[in-house]
Amino acid sequence: MNQLLRHRELQLFSEMKSDNKGSFNYFFDYYYSGLCIYASQYTGDLSTSEEVVQDVFVRFWEKRQSIEIENSVRFYLFRTVHNQCMNLLKHKKIENNYRQQNTFEADNLSEDQWSLFNESELRHILAQAISKLPERCREIFELSRFENLKNKEIAEKLRITEKTVENQITKALNILRKELKDFLPLFMMYLS
Amino acid sequence: MNEYPSIEKLTGYLNGELTIEETKEIKAWFNQSEEGRKELEHLEIIWSLSDRLRQMEKINKQNAKRKVDSRTGSPKKSWKIFLQSFQKVAAILILPVLLFSAYLYFGKATEGTTEQEFFATYGTRTTLVLPDGSKVWLNSGSKLRYGKGFNHGNRTVFLTGEAFFDVTANKSRPFDVVTGPFTVRAVGTEFNVFSYENNEFETSLEEGVTQIYQSDPNGHDKQIIMMKPGQRAVFDEKQEELVLSEGDVSRYSTWREGRLTFKNAPMNEVIMKLERWFNVDVELKDPGLLQYRYTAVFEHETIQQAMEMLRFSSPIEYKIIPGEKQQDNALSRSKVVIDIQQ
Can you say whether the dihedral through the CA atoms of B28, B34, B39, B40 is positive or negative?
positive
CATH 3.40.50.10490, applies to B259-340: no
Q: How far is B166 from chain A (nearest CA, A)?
A: 33
- CA distance linking residue A172 with residue A162, whole number of Å: 15
Enter the pTM of the model: 0.49
Residue contact B52–A191, C-beta within 8 A: yes
Buried b / exposed e along B102-130 (16+ C-beta atoms within 10 A): beebeeeeeeebeebebebeeeebbbbbb
Q: Which residues of A touch B39 (CB under 8 A)?
A: 177
- Which of B61, B210, B156 lies closest to A25 in space, CA to CA? B61
**CB–CB of B159/B182 below 8 Å?**
no
Residue contact B50–A32, C-beta within 8 A: no
Q: Which top CATH class is B116-247?
A: mainly beta
ipTM over 0.90: no
A98-147 confidence digits (pLDDT tens)? 554 445 555 566 666 778 888 878 887 888 888 888 989 999 998 988 88
Mean pLDDT of A59-77: 90
Whether B265 has its CB under 8 Å from any CB of chain A: the answer is: no
pLDDT at A61: 93
Task: Using the predicted structure, report yes or no on whether residue A95 has a pLDDT greater than 60.
Answer: no
Below-50 pLDDT ranges, chain B: 75-86, 88-89, 92-93, 95-96, 98-113
* Residue A87 pLDDT class (50, 70, 90 cuts): confident
**CB–CB of B158/B148 below 8 Å?**
no
Whether B8 has its CB under 8 Å from any CB of chain A: the answer is: yes
pLDDT at A189: 62
**CB–CB of B195/B159 below 8 Å?**
yes
Residue contact A191–B11, C-beta within 8 A: no
pLDDT at B196: 80
Residue A33 burial class via C-beta count within 10 angstroms: exposed 0-12, middle 13-18, buried 19 and up: buried
Task: Provide the 3-class DSSP secondary structure of residue A190.
Answer: coil
Query: Who among A21, A50, A166 is closest to B64 (CB)?
Result: A50
Whether A161 has its CB under 8 Å from any CB of chain B: the answer is: no
pLDDT at B220: 65
Query: Who among A29, A119, A176 is closest to B56 (CB)?
Result: A119
Task: Using the predicted structure, report yes or no on whether residue A81 has a pLDDT greater than 50.
Answer: yes
pLDDT at A58: 94
How distant is the alpha carbon of residue B314 from its chain centre?
Answer: 23
